[in-house]
């Protein structure tokens, strides 16, 4: 059986403007690879209602899981929750269990649960909360969409809580070889090797060091024995 599939939706003008460098995609990709869920697409959209809603609809229909990052804080431009609810056609309002989590958190800090902070307790109808052990404000799961914070430490903590509940497939294994020859020299033999192993994925990543050209060839797949066999052939083709 093929592995479950996933997409990521990164939300925020600060990503598209270059003000903030996204770190969550890299972390999500590594974690999904470990549990056998194939990350197939990543989109970045602005803080605009239709952009979020349209992307959620499209990705939710195309993949087993969708993970969103960003736009669930207390400010006016945090509109992810509203537009995920709109994508699924369900109402959204302050939910008492989410309110209680926030109230306890701010009581411990001696702060008021004001109107802005209460926005983070607005949860779409029918959603399941995602625990936030870092700053309390929960994410949520609606359908196959996992809505999480954009701050990397919070995103990582939320993801760690979500992953054990998901059914994965076969983890993707990888091996690599540094070849000190240009890609133009290795392209033909590498293509022939890839054709002999259609169940594996072959990637060539060029580099230049001290005026010499080379490439790191990475082979990925789910069958360890096939991976070993392909790497044995690759080493024989391009000995160190």
Q: What is the spatial distance between Cα 193 and Cα 213, in angstroms, rounded to a whole number?
A: 21
Query: Which pLDDT band, with edges at 50, 70 and 90, does 2 fall under?
Result: confident
DSSP per-residue string spanning the chain: -PPPEEEEEEE-HHHHTTSS---HHHHHHHHHHHHT-EEEEEEEE-S-HHHHHHHHHHHHHHSSEEEEES--SSSTT--HHHHHHHHHT--EEE-HHHHHHHHHHHHHHT----HHHHGGGEEETT-EEE--TTT---EEEETTEEEE-SSHHHHHHHHHHHGGGS---PPPEEEEEEE-S-HHHHHHHHHHHHHH-TTSEEEEEEEEETTEEEEEEEEEES-HHHHHHHHHHHHHHS--
The fraction of the chain above a pLDDT of 70, given in percent, is: 100
- What average pLDDT is seen over the chain? 96
Question: In this model, does residue 210 exceed pLDDT 90?
Answer: no
pLDDT tens, residue by residue, 85-106: 999 999 999 999 999 999 999 9
pLDDT of residue 56: 98
Q: Flag whether pLDDT at 83 surpasses 80.
A: yes
| Residue 69 and residue 148 in contact, taking contact as beta carbons nearer than 8 Å | yes
Pairing, β 128-130 against β 139-142? antiparallel
Q: Which of 223-238 are b and which e, b meaning 16 or more Cβ less than 10 Å from the residue's Cβ?
A: eeeebeebbeebeeeb
Q: Is the dihedral of CA 84, 87, 93, 96 positive or negative?
A: negative
Q: Is the pLDDT of residue 212 over 90?
A: no
pLDDT tens-digit map of 143-184 = 999 999 999 999 999 999 999 999 999 888 999 999 999 999
Report the C-alpha dihedral over residues 73, 144, 93, 9, rounded to 10 degrees: 30
CA of residue 150 relative to chain centroid, distance: 11
d(CA 63, CA 38): 10
Instruction: Provide the terminal-to-terminal Cα distance of the chain, rounded to the nearest Å.
Output: 37
| pLDDT reading at 1 higher than 80 | no
Per-residue pLDDT averaged across 116-120, rounded? 96
Domains of the chain: 5-165 (3.40.980.10), 173-237 (3.30.70)
Model confidence, pTM? 0.88
pLDDT at position 240 is 78
């Amino acid at each position: 059986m093929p592995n479950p599939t996933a997409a990521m939706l990164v939300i925020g003008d600060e990503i598209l403007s270059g003000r903030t460098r996204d770190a969550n995609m890299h972390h999500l990709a590594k974690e999904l690879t470990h549990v056998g869920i194939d990350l197939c697409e990543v989109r970045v959209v602005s803080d605009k209602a239709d952009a979020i809603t349209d992307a959620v609809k499209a990705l939710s229909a195309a993949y087993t899981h969708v993970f969103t990052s960003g736009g669930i804080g207390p400010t006016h431009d945090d509109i992810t929750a509203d537009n995920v609810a709109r994508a699924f056609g369900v109402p959204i309002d302050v939910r008492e269990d989410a309110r209680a989590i926030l109230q306890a958190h701010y009581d411990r800090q001696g702060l008021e649960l004001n109107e802005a902070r209460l926005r983070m307790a607005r949860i779409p109808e029918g959603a399941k909360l995602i625990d936030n052990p870092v700053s309390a404000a929960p994410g949520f799961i609606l359908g196959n969409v996992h809505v999480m914070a954009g701050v990397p430490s919070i995103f990582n903590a939320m993801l760690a809580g979500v992953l054990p509940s998901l059914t994965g497939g076969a983890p993707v294994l990888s091996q690599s070889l540094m070849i000190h020859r240009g890609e133009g020299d290795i392209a033909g033999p590498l293509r022939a090797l890839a054709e002999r192993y259609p169940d594996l994925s072959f990637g060539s990543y060029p580099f230049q060091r001290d005026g010499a050209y080379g490439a790191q060839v990475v082979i990925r797949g789910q069958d360890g024995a096939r991976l070993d066999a392909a790497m044995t052939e690759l080493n024989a083709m391009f000995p160190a």
